Structure 1
Amino acid sequence: MTPLLELRSISCGYDNTVITQQLSFQLQAGEIACLLGPSGCGKTTVLRAIAGFNPLLSGSIVQNGTPISAAGFTLPPEQRGIGVVFQDYALFPHLSVFDNIAFGLKGRSRDEKREAVAALLQLVELPDLSARYPHELSGGQQQRVALARALAPKPKLLLLDEPFSNLDTDLRRQLALEVRSILKAQGIAAIMVTHDQEEAFAISDQLGILAQGQLQQWGTPTELYYRPVNPLVAGFVGKGELFSGECLDATTVRTELGTIEFAEPFGAEVGKPLSLFIRPGDIRPSIEPGAVMATIEQKEFLGSSVVYQLSLPSGRRIESEIYEPLMLEVGARVSLHVAAHRPIAFAL
Structure 2
Amino acid sequence: MTDLRISGLVKCYEPQARVLDGLDLTVPAGLLAAVLGPSGCGKTTLLRVVAGFLRADAGTVELGGRIVCGPGVHVPPERRRVGIVPQEGALFPHLSVAANVAFGLTGIGRAERRRRTGEMLELVGLPGHGERMPHELSGGQQQRVAVARALAPAPDLVLLDEPFNALDSALRAGVRADVRAALRATGATGLLVTHDQQEALSTADLVAVLREGRVAQCGTPEEVYRRPADLWVAGFVGEAVFLPATVEDGTAATPLGRIPLAGDRRGPGGVVVLRPEQLVLGEAGTRGTCGTVVDVRFYGHDAMVRVAVAGLDEPVAVRVAGPAGVRPGERAAVSVTGEATLHAAP
Q: TM-score surpassing 0.5?
A: yes
Give the whole-Å Cα distance in 2 for the aligned partners of 1:275 and 1:235: 12
What does the per-residue CA deviation read over 1:69-98, in whole Å, with 9 as the maximum and x for residues that have no partner?
124531101111111111132211111111
| Cα distance change, pair 304–25 in 1 and its aligned pair in 2 (3 A) | same
Find the counterpart in structure 1 of residue 257 from structure 2.
Answer: 259
What does the per-residue CA deviation read over 1:254-281, in whole Å, with 9 as the maximum and x for residues that have no partner?
22x3322317555131xx2301112222
Quick check: 2:2–2:157 contact (8 Å CA) kept in 1? Answer: no
Give the whole-Å Cα distance in 2 for the aligned partners of 1:85 and 1:195: 16
1:302 aligns with 2:299: yes
Find the counterpart in structure 2 of residue 276 from structure 1.
Answer: 272
Amino acid corresponding to residue 195 of structure 1 in structure 2: H
Give the whole-Å Cα distance in 2 for the aligned partners of 1:253 and 1:200: 31
Most deviating of 168-177 and 309-318: 309-318
Find the counterpart in structure 1 of residue 41 from structure 2.
Answer: 41
Provide the secondary structure at the position in 2 that maps to 1:294: strand
Provide the secondary structure at the position in 1 that maps to 2:45: helix
| Cα distance change, pair 153–342 in 1 and its aligned pair in 2 (3 A) | same
Give the whole-Å Cα distance in 2 for the aligned partners of 1:207 and 1:4: 16
Provide the secondary structure at the position in 1 that maps to 2:22: strand
| Cα distance change, pair 288–219 in 1 and its aligned pair in 2 (3 A) | same
Provide the secondary structure at the position in 2 that maps to 1:216: strand
Provide the secondary structure at the position in 1 that maps to 2:125: coil
CA-atom RMSD, angstroms? 2.1
| Cα distance change, pair 142–240 in 1 and its aligned pair in 2 (3 A) | same
What does the per-residue CA deviation read over 1:185-237, in whole Å, with 9 as the maximum and x for residues that have no partner?
11111111112122112222222111222100112112212221111221233
Find the counterpart in structure 2 of residue 318 from structure 1.
Answer: 316
Give the whole-Å Cα distance in 1 for the aligned partners of 2:125 and 2:322: 38
Quick check: 2:37–2:195 contact (8 Å CA) kept in 1? Answer: yes
Amino acid corresponding to residue 124 of structure 2 in structure 1: V
What does the per-residue CA deviation read over 1:306-344, in whole Å, with 9 as the maximum and x for residues that have no partner?
3212223356333211126661233211222122x1211
| Cα distance change, pair 254–113 in 1 and its aligned pair in 2 (3 A) | same
Provide the secondary structure at the position in 2 that maps to 1:170: helix
1:7 aligns with 2:6: yes
Quick check: 1:173–1:202 contact (8 Å CA) kept in 2? Answer: no
Find the counterpart in structure 2 of residue 206 from structure 1.
Answer: 206
Find the counterpart in structure 1 of residue 132 from structure 2.
Answer: 132
Give the whole-Å Cα distance in 2 for the aligned partners of 1:277 and 1:132: 52
Quick check: 1:55–1:73 contact (8 Å CA) kept in 2? Answer: no
What does the per-residue CA deviation read over 1:170-198, in whole Å, with 9 as the maximum and x for residues that have no partner?
32222222212111111111111112122
**Among candidates 325, 341, 344, match of residue 341 of structure 2:** 344
Give the whole-Å Cα distance in 1 for the aligned partners of 2:160 and 2:324: 42
The aligned length equals: 342
1:19 aligns with 2:15: no
| Cα distance change, pair 315–35 in 1 and its aligned pair in 2 (3 A) | closer
Quick check: 1:7–1:23 contact (8 Å CA) kept in 2? Answer: yes
| 1:1-348 correspondence to structure 2 within 5 Å | 4-16=3-15, 17-247=17-247, 249-255=248-254, 257-262=255-260, 264-265=262-263, 267-269=265-267, 272-289=268-285, 292-313=289-310, 316-323=314-321, 327-339=325-337, 341-348=338-345
Most deviating of 212-221 and 237-246: 237-246
Give the whole-Å Cα distance in 2 for the aligned partners of 1:326 and 1:127: 45
| Cα distance change, pair 115–23 in 1 and its aligned pair in 2 (3 A) | same
| Cα distance change, pair 238–201 in 1 and its aligned pair in 2 (3 A) | same
Give the whole-Å Cα distance in 2 for the aligned partners of 1:203 and 1:114: 30
Percent identity for Structure 1 against Structure 2: 37
Quick check: 1:266–1:344 contact (8 Å CA) kept in 2? Answer: no
Provide the secondary structure at the position in 1 that maps to 2:57: strand
Give the whole-Å Cα distance in 2 for the aligned partners of 1:183 and 1:154: 10
Provide the secondary structure at the position in 1 that maps to 2:228: coil
What does the per-residue CA deviation read over 1:1-41, in whole Å, with 9 as the maximum and x for residues that have no partner?
x9622111111232443102111122222122111112221
Which structure 2 residue ranges, 5 or more long, are not aligned? none
Which structure 1 residue ranges, 5 or more long, are not aligned? none
Most deviating of 322-331 and 203-212: 322-331
Quick check: 2:86–2:162 contact (8 Å CA) kept in 1? Answer: yes
